[in-house]
Amino acid sequence: MYTFFKSSFFNFECIRILTTIPFGGAELGECLDAITQIRNDDPSSWYLAWIAQGEKAENLALLAAAHGDRISARDAYLRASNYFRTSSYMFNDRPESPDVRVLQLFERSIACFRHAITLLDHEVKVIEIPYENGCKLPGYLFLPSAEKRGSSGKKVPMLVNVNGADSTSEELYSLYAAAGVERGYAVLIFDGPGQGAVLRRDRVYMRPDGEAVTSRVMDHIYFMVQQDPDLNLDLDKVAIAGASMGAYFALRGAAADHRYAACVSLDPFYSMFDLATSRMPPWFIHNWLSGWPITDNVFNFIWKLLSRFNFQLKWELTHVMWIFGKPDAAAAMHEMRRYTLDNVGGVEDERGKKDDKDGEGEEEDDDDDEGSESFLGRLHCPVLVTGAMGTIYTPPSISTDRIHNALAHLDDEDKERMRWVADQMGEGGLQGKVGAWRLAQQKTFEFLDRVLHVKKEAIPVTK
């Protein structure tokens, strides 16, 4: 695989930006101009290179808008939004290390995206999903045009795309929203706790029981349909999908809420703690967990020392501290142990097991067995699970394979059809299918068409 940087981390993040080109999120020449200005493992040069491209694209959008060129304005606003998101990616805004640039650039990213969606060829609704303590989860509902919906009066299938550890809902437009509406699907994307606006503006942190969030999203879908029947959404054909950490949340969401009729889990982890410790010496982890001779203070000291020489290590744990709301590396590592698919009763949110639904949703099922039952054992719907041999995070042997083997509700034939582990980048071999989103979209929507019984006419091929 061609590399732009010695750092596998910087290289991966550059490919991630290039991946959005087909969906309007970037332009090749602009990306190459930025890459030439970036020094390996240097976050400051990363920031300066991408903010320059963001401002350039934003100015192009303003010029196009003044000229009345809707297409060019839309495209430039989409690129500017993605470049501004990218420019702040290497920073964080933790209370222990505040950085005003993070929120400022995020707001510029959102502003450009909001301009862009008014210029799309299909309807987009900006939504707010009631969460808790007055917090609302911002998101977007993308609706296919009448032409893409097929026959008149036909109900529209829907995909809920769950965010992950380091993305924003605006970036997710390129993963499934742009592709979904072209295929006749409605697509909902949103920022949950510890993500996007909810983290940066509201400082509400991530929770391991993501099903508490995705069930609220489903409640709000029912609420929207009740308030506006003309949406014509098919509530029997709502699927949930996510990539990386979002794939973990998608699995938990589908297992806990049987209103989700299918699940797509792109390169998930089974246990976040196992993922993190798989790159550490076993003796070190054992001595740290035993509390002697490696205490939390010693762990933090060693991490700070190693971080001086390894930017990826520094970024990863600092970012996790930020999204979890933890003050140090050891505390963040302890919190990772709660992010697991191991058992139903193994995760209890610190704020309580049950939350008020703000009067919008369905009653919760009372059949949630506590104890040691695998969370995956509660899945009832078809599940597509993928893995990436070229991952820089979670190898299939400790994630995809473990999840796949635990899908007891699927027979062997279905398991084989619903498993996709790739080696080469163009085949989906990088984490989150970065570098192969077109292929991910094809496999995802072919899967959903099949399991949701969405009928499509075959296209005649002329030789």
**Beta-bridge mates of residue 139:** 127, 190
Cβ neighbors of 435 (< 8 A, separation 6 or more) are 15, 18, 19, 425, 426, 429
| Alpha-carbon gap, residue 181 to 44, rounded angstroms | 37
CA distances from 20 to 78, 200, 234, 435 (A): 10, 23, 29, 9
Nearest to 79 by CA among 99, 52, 97: 52
Structure tokens at 293: 């001779």
DSSP 8-state code for residue 204 = P
Q: Which of 174, 244, 265, 271 is catalytic?
A: 244
Nearest to 1 by CA among 388, 270, 293, 419: 388
Residues in the chain: 463
Task: Give me the DSSP letters along 355-381.
Answer: ---TT-SPPPPS----SS--GGGG--S
Q: Any catalytic annotation for residue 244?
A: yes
Given a contact cutoff of 8 angstroms between Cβ atoms, the answer to whether 323 and 244 are in contact is: no
| Alpha-carbon gap, residue 434 to 185, rounded angstroms | 22
| Alpha-carbon gap, residue 355 to 353, rounded angstroms | 7
Nearest to 444 by CA among 420, 416, 411, 422: 420
Q: Which residues does the annotation mark as catalytic? A: 244
